[in-house]
Chain A
Amino acid sequence: MTDVRCPMCGKLNSDDLEVCQYCQARLKPLIAPPDDEATTRELSSAMYPADPRESEKEAEPESAIPDWLQSLRPDRDEEEYAIPPSAEEEPPAWTPHPDTGSLKQKPADAESDYRDWLSSLRADDESEAVPEARLEDTSIDWSTPEPEGEEAPGWLSDLRSTSEETSLEIPAAETAPLSSLENPDWLRQLRERQMGETEPAQDEEAQPDLAELSSEIDTGSEAFSEEPAEQAEEEEIPDWLSGLVDSPSDDHPDDLPDWLVSGSPPPTESATPALIEEPSEEGLTSLPSEAEMQIPDWLSGIMNSQTQAATDELPLEEEIPGWLTGKEKLAVQKQGPAEPEGEVTGAEFEWLEAQGLIAPEKKPADSQPKVVAPFTMEEETAGLDTDELPDWLKEAGAQEAQLESVNASEEDASLTPAALPAWLEAMRPVEAAAPGVPRVDESERSIESSGPLAGLRGILRAEPDIARQKKPPAYTIKLQVSESHQAHAAILEKLINSEGVVTPVPARAVVSRQMLWRAAILVILLLAAAWPLYSGSQGVALPQLPNEVFSARAVIDGLLVDETSNQGAVLLAVDYEPGFAGEMDAASAALLDHLMIKGTHLALVSTTPSGPALAERLVSIVNQHSNHQYSRSNQYVNLGFVPGGAAGLLGFAQSPQRVLPYTLDGSDAWNDGLLAGITNLSDFSLAIVITENPDTARAWIEQAQPALGGKPLLLVVSAQAEPLVRPYFEGYPQQVQGMLVGLAGGAAYENSMQRSSLARQYWDSYSFTLAAAILIIVIASALNALPLILSRGKKVKGEA
């Protein structure tokens, strides 16, 4: 069992392992079962884009040159050829794999370097002919015949002549990807064909038998020398190689090695250079130098011209030839697997295989890598312009196709195993000699599945790889619940549970504390008011005569009444609401009694709808309590209601006869009867307004008082209207000559009259009720405020 060295850690692993047992890196490339021919064509079309301009922009040409040829470039630093430390342990990359029998994989950009190198050759040729021509134009010039014997090597001229002689047609499918401007199209085609041949579905038997090649390499130049030259020329040597041998260049006979010039087989072991004779580790380490490699002159000349052409014509960054970036490619190659290189290996040894030096590799059908082309053949061939190809290139392609068919027919088990000549083995590049590492075919698992690059393989997927390198943060799945959370959750649960529970509404007490308070207050006030009335007590002294009452009495006392005439007629306005009848009747009873005593004629009027009835009621009450016999139409007339509010009152004040021409009983109030001869308010001796409403009192004062013509105006108002009416009494000039305020005013007037009327009856009850109300307010307020005072005192003490 052969061990496989891990490309990542460099440790040996068993052959049957697919991943490294130390670092879990993949040891074997991802492969897919072979597909049909269409798949192979899609593979080739995928590898060679149809658009030549895009192919120029890409870095693909950098890897077109075989690695072993890259190492031969003269301008490479010696450091690039330094063998890595592992070179001493690993077999050379170009040697067959000990287990698989296939050559070790090469970097994916090998083909691009190959094409770059060859394109630089073409550029070198053209730079001499047309130095100012751009690199893009060289493809056209390339197709044009060049003057013989100028710069082209003889072997290349022979190759072109051989291609021109070939009358085979190039298949359209094979010429499709050939559109590069920098590289010779025929080489691209050739490479494409080689790539196609390496596909397992197409010609798996066309692969060189690397196992046999390995054995041949082991035998070295001995096997090569044992092959008869005739057999090589007749059977296995390809035409172009045959042309090289048969028609050496006349122009540069010195550039070719002697064995090529003479067409003889390579020199034998004795003639082999020391470097080639002993491709040992020591020799490999000393390979980097060009001089040591003993590159033929013709090849070094080509590379020199290539370097010169690239320096002169190519842009700085975009058109850097592939062999300049070979260092970077090499570094990438050493770091890890890049792309499947079985095709590259096969292409590299295609000419050997065609020559019969090596046997085509026989790979199992299921071990061939499956490449999924990102584009279809139709898309590939769509942008191909086959007319641009020169005829000789088409013929060369046809010739190659023919050779392919010949190789396919020659696949036979009886083929002689190919042996790598020693001289060729010695010419292998350092990269090939460097220890190779098994590469993993990343094509399958790196196919882009989304985005604009969907379908492409080998794409660097930065994010997933980076994400994998990170260890995902460990999140505990256990819910972290704090005590506060638990408390809130409990509250929430309790709240939710309480939604479905019917909370019994507390039964409302039939008798509440507040209701008891109200009832108690009511009872106390009723008892205080009813007890004097029930007992007939009149023990409370009446109040003294205030100034306003005194003035009112003085006015009434000054009335000159003539019962036979209308002299001394009094206008009595009863403008209070029935609800205030108790207070207003008692307040005005003594005054009306005094007027009745004087025998004045009364003209009752009102500005409220209920006023006329209240006036009748008031007269009847006074008659009842003061023993008067005042009757309607004889001593008083009821003019009724004055509508219109202040306006109506103004109209009445200015023209009472027009506003109220009739009494309530329908008689003419102003022409006959008590009010005959009275046309204005000034004809009345006195005007008395009984009201509980300050606005009504103000209306009378403002609207009617000016119409009185200096006649006095007395007001009997309730206690609540006193503050608003008093200014008219206390003002100067006085608009109100006297006032009786509330029950106290009536009681004072009665007291001054020394008569007993309603005020006297109500006075004791009023006094007791006031006392009860005051006691209730004081006691209850104290009881309510005491706890608050005590609590505040405790707080103050606590703070202190």
Chain B
Amino acid sequence: MMRGKTLISAIIVIVLGFVVLAGYFWPLPVLVSLRDLLLKWAVLLAAVALLVGVVNLFTVHWGKASSGAKGSIYSIVLIFSLVITLIIALYFGPLSTWSLWIYNYIQVPVETSLMAVLAVILVVAVVRMARQRPNLFSVVFIATGVLMLLGSAPLMGIEIPGLYGPEGLRSLLAQIPAVAGARGILLGVALGVIATGVRVLIGSDRPYGG
């Protein structure tokens, strides 16, 4: 049994959901305009939510930095970076040279380096898997990975026949078994989205709380 506040929220969600859905099935001007208005509100709310998230992040780490607990130094660094970036972006603009410098020479290299380390870690993980789980599935996994790597590019300029090209082994692996699995995933995702939408429309699923 829903309480009053929850009931009101559920009614709003259900009504608006059916209005937006009806705008797709019956593109009446009223429905379309109402749908566009609601979508604009959703975008604005999402932007505000992003700001709220930034404020919350700042508050949490401010508390950690103030308490002096273990790891507070990372909170201090985060707060310092946030403030500096915010000041530069607000003052010079988001596409200013200073803003892009911070982005191009700090954020992108850091994240790219992490991806580079990930490549090394993946290689080490495959080696350890061969040592610690020497079973059939490990062998299949390693063989598939090696074939995909071999088919991604010629090894130091040496092309292995049958691996490259639209009819190569790599394309077969990437387009038949992988796509088959991916399609299954997509179908599952689509069904899940439909089910979730229906649950939200009938008020059974209330992600807004209550």
Contact = CB atoms under 8 A, between A and B. Distances in A.
B192 interface: no
B130 A770 contact: no
B183 to A, nearest CB: 5
Interface stretch (B76-84, B116-124, B198-206): B116-124
Interface stretch (B58-66, B67-75, B103-111): B103-111
B87 interface: no
Interface string A645-668: 101101110110011000011000
A258 to B, nearest CB: 120
Interface in B104-161: 104, 107-108, 110-112, 114-115, 119-120, 123-124, 126-127, 130-131, 134, 142, 145-146, 149-150, 152-157, 159
Contact of B39 (A654, A767, A773, A776): A654
Nearest to A780: B127
Interface in A512-530: 517-518, 521-522, 525
B179 A727 contact: yes
A521 B153 contact: no
A541 interface: yes
Contacts of A658: 36, 40
Interface string B172-199: 0011001101110110010000000000
B36 to A, nearest CB: 5
A433 B104 CA distance: 138
Contact of B120 (A525, A614, A782): A525
Contact of B123 (A744, A768, A773): A773
A709 to B, nearest CB: 14
Interface string B84-114: 0000000001110001100110011011101
Nearest to B51: A643
Interface in A749-793: 763-764, 766-771, 773-774, 776-778, 780-782, 784-785, 788
A726 interface: yes
B130 A613 contact: no
A767 B160 CA distance: 13
A767 B153 contact: yes
Contacts, number: 195
A742 B164 CA distance: 15
Interface size class of B (residues with CB under 8 A): 35 or more
Contacts of A730: 175, 179
- Max chain B CB contacts within 10 Å: which of A766, A767, A781? A781
A523 B41 CA distance: 52
B153 A665 contact: no
B149 A539 contact: no
Given A521-B120, A522-B120, A616-B100, A784 B127 contact: yes
A518 to B, nearest CB: 5
Contacts of A53: none
A173 to B, nearest CB: 90
Contacts of B47: 643-644
A730 B171 CA distance: 13
B130 A544 contact: no
Nearest to A658: B40
Given A582-B115, A614-B103, A723-B181, 12 more contacts: A525-B120, A543-B164, A579-B114, A643-B50, A647-B39, A651-B39, A654-B39, A665-B93, A726-B175, A726-B179, A727-B179, A780-B127
21 contacts: A517-B127, A525-B123, A546-B171, A616-B100, A617-B100, A638-B95, A640-B94, A644-B42, A654-B35, A655-B39, A659-B43, A726-B174, A726-B175, A726-B179, A770-B149, A770-B153, A774-B149, A774-B150, A777-B126, A778-B146, A785-B134
Q: Which 7 A-B pairs have the closest CB atoms?
A: A781-B130, A784-B131, A579-B111, A651-B39, A644-B46, A723-B178, A780-B127
Interface of B: 35-36, 39-40, 42-47, 50, 93-95, 99-100, 103-104, 107-108, 110-112, 114-115, 119-120, 123-124, 126-127, 130-131, 134, 142, 145-146, 149-150, 152-157, 159, 164-166, 171, 174-175, 178-179, 181-183, 185-186, 189
